[in-house]
Amino acid sequence: MKSIYRGLIVAVSGPSGVGKGTVLAKVEELLEKANPGSVGHSISVTTRAPRGQEKDGVEYYFRTTEQFEQMIADGKIVEYDKYVDNYYGTPSEPLDEMLSKGQDVLFDITIEGSLALNRKFDTDTVTIFILPPSMEELENRLRGRGTETEEKVQKRLEQARNEIKRAGEFEYIITNDDLDRAAGDILAIITAEKLKASKNISAVEELL
Ligand code: 5GP
């Protein structure tokens, strides 16, 4: 009676400082509350050094550039990108497993990463771009992060502008002016995506 549901990749991008991580943590919390075990967690591989209390296999798999390039050569990375001189990539096997178990997987990844997942997984992916409420607000958030020099803040803002120019390459655009609303918007997108006719034809056949 019940058709096998293949999980959805929710690929979220947006400029640094827009609050992607916080919004996605909220979305994950709400999805888990509604349906425990329904969200899978992808741990990326990176060549950047661990920060603070970060542990290998928890926040990231920390690897050398040689090891990372070997993983690419071995086909173990489904998408990867360079960000501030370091590689970041998504391991293929765990993702395939989660999707075939029917788990949805939320991604906070670069623009190229989201678009690559969309090309590779097509109907199993939805891409979302998060905008800041205003450039002033983004600037405040970038400054609020701590002891960045003025030059670094300006560089990050310039990069943010260049990224925001690409928002139209995504399927959905939301604004993070309020955490609960932004999380609610992403939940609405996920619900709509799952209700697409193309994904529910088997239910019609089963009914008849
Ligand atoms: P951070 O070094 O601050 O943890 O992450 C830097 C950036 O890398 C973030 O903007 C995040 O979206 C991106 N990122 C993290 N993991 C991946 C990944 O597996 N693939 C891609 N393409 N980007 C990633």
Q: Whose CA is nearest to atom 19 of ligand 1?
A: 89
- Show the DSSP H helices in the chain as ranges: 20-34, 65-73, 92-100, 111-121, 135-144, 150-164, 179-194, 197-207
How many Å lie between the centroid of ligand 1 and the Cα of residue 110?
Answer: 6
In this prediction the pTM is 0.94
Nearest Cα residue to 124 out of 174, 89, 78: 78
What band does 5 get if pLDDT is binned at 50, 70 and 90?
confident
Place of tokens 């109907």: 123
Q: What are the phi and psi torsion angles at 60 (to 5°)?
A: -150, 165
Query: What pLDDT, on the 0 to 100 scale, is given for residue 4?
Result: 64
Give, for ligand 1, the residue of 13, 58, 108 to mutate: max count of ligand atoms closer than 8 Å to Cβ.
108
CATH class of residue range 9-38+102-207 = alpha beta
Pick the CATH number of 45-91 from 3.30.63.10, 3.20.20.410, 3.40.50.300, 3.30.1330.30: 3.30.63.10
- CATH 3.30.63.10 residue ranges of the chain are 45-91
Place of tokens 């293929």: 92
Task: For residue 151, give the 3-state DSSP assignment.
Answer: helix
Summarised one tens digit per residue, pLDDT across range 157-186 is 999 999 999 999 999 999 999 999 999 999
| Residue to substitute in 84, 88, 170 for testing ligand 1 pocket (most ligand atoms within 8 angstroms of CB) | 88
Is 6:100 a contact under the CB 8 Å cutoff? yes
Q: Tell me what percent of the residues of the chain surpass a pLDDT of 70.
A: 97
As annotated, the residues of the chain forming the CATH 3.40.50.300 domain(s) are: 9-38+102-207
Nearest CA to ligand 1 atom 14: 109
